[in-house]
Homo-oligomer: A and B are copies of this chain.
C-alpha cells in the first residue's frame, strides 16, 4: 500500500510551534546581522547515511512558513530508501530564510527518518514471515501522530493511537475484574461495535481462558507479552487463527526473526519510536 501524506492541517501547528521555539523573541540574530536581505542561496538536503526518509512535508513547511519565496523541490518521497549522499530535496531562494529555517526542518526530518529507518530495518528482517511490524504508545509527548506516520513510512503498521481507539486489557485490568473472562466481558459491554478488544496475556493459561470465551465476545487480538519464541509458537498453535496474535517485549534486530518465525501476526516494538537514533541528514550548498 502506498503511504498517504498527512493533511497539512494536521502538521501545521507542530511546525509553527517548533519555529516559534527556535526564533524566540528576536529571531535569527546572526543571519539578520550578517546575510544581506537580497542574497540568494541554493542547497540540497543530503543523506549522510543510508536509511528511509520521512517528514518531507514538515521540512517543506518549515521553509515555507519562514519565507514563501523559498522553493523546495523534493527528489525523494517519504518511505523512499536513501543511500549515503543521496539528494533528498533541493532548496533555493532567499538565503536568510533558508538558513533561519534549516535547523527546524532538519530536526523534524532527521527525527522522523530515524524512526522510519529503525522500523524498516526490523521490517526487512521479518520479511520472509507474515508478521507485521508495529509501534506502541511509547512515543515522544506531543509528536505521536507524526511518529506513527514515520512508522508507516518505514513499512510498519500502527497500534493504538491513544487510550480511546481500541481496548487493551492489561494485568491491572484483569486483576481488577477478577478474571480474564470478566475483564473481556466488561470491555465488550462497554464499547461500541467498531472498537476492537485486545487482551494482554503473560501465560498460556490466561490465553486458554480467552480461548474458552464464546466467539461473539472473545477478544479480537491477544498480546503475548515477553514470551520466548518457543512459547509464542505454542500460543499461535493454541489460537488457531481465532484471534490476531501479537508478540511484544525484547524485540531487537537480533531476536526479531525468531519471533516472527513463531507465526505471530504482529510484532510490536516500543524503541522504534522512543529510542531510535536520528538519521543524519544535512543541508549542503550546491
**What residues of chain A have their CB less than 8 Å away from a CB belonging to chain B?**
1-2, 4, 6-7, 9-10, 14-37, 39, 41, 65-67, 95, 99-100, 103-104, 106-108, 110-111, 114, 132, 134, 137-145, 148, 157-170, 172-173, 176-177, 183, 186-187, 189-196, 198, 216, 220-221, 241, 244, 246, 265-266, 271, 274-278, 285
Contact = CB atoms under 8 A, between A and B. Distances in A.
Contacts of A244: 193
A30 B187 contact: yes
Nearest to A168: B30
A6 B11 CA distance: 23
| Chain A to chain B: the 8 pairs with minimum beta-carbon distance, closest first | A33-B190, A18-B141, A24-B164, A275-B277, A26-B164, A4-B32, A166-B194, A24-B162
Contacts of A95: 172, 176
Q: Tell me how many chains of this kind the complex includes.
A: 6
Contact of A66 (B9, B145, B266, B274): B9
10 contacts: A17-B141, A25-B144, A29-B164, A33-B189, A106-B138, A107-B137, A110-B274, A111-B141, A172-B285, A193-B244
Given A33-B189, A34-B173, A275-B278, 9 more contacts: A2-B37, A6-B27, A26-B158, A31-B173, A39-B176, A100-B163, A157-B193, A193-B246, A194-B220
Interface of A is mostly: mixed
A111 B32 CA distance: 24
Nearest to A175: B285
Contacts of A7: 23, 27, 66-67, 100
A65 B266 CA distance: 34
B33 A187 contact: yes
A34 B142 contact: no
Given A139-B107, A274-B107, A27 B164 contact: yes
A169 B143 CA distance: 28
A190 B29 CA distance: 8
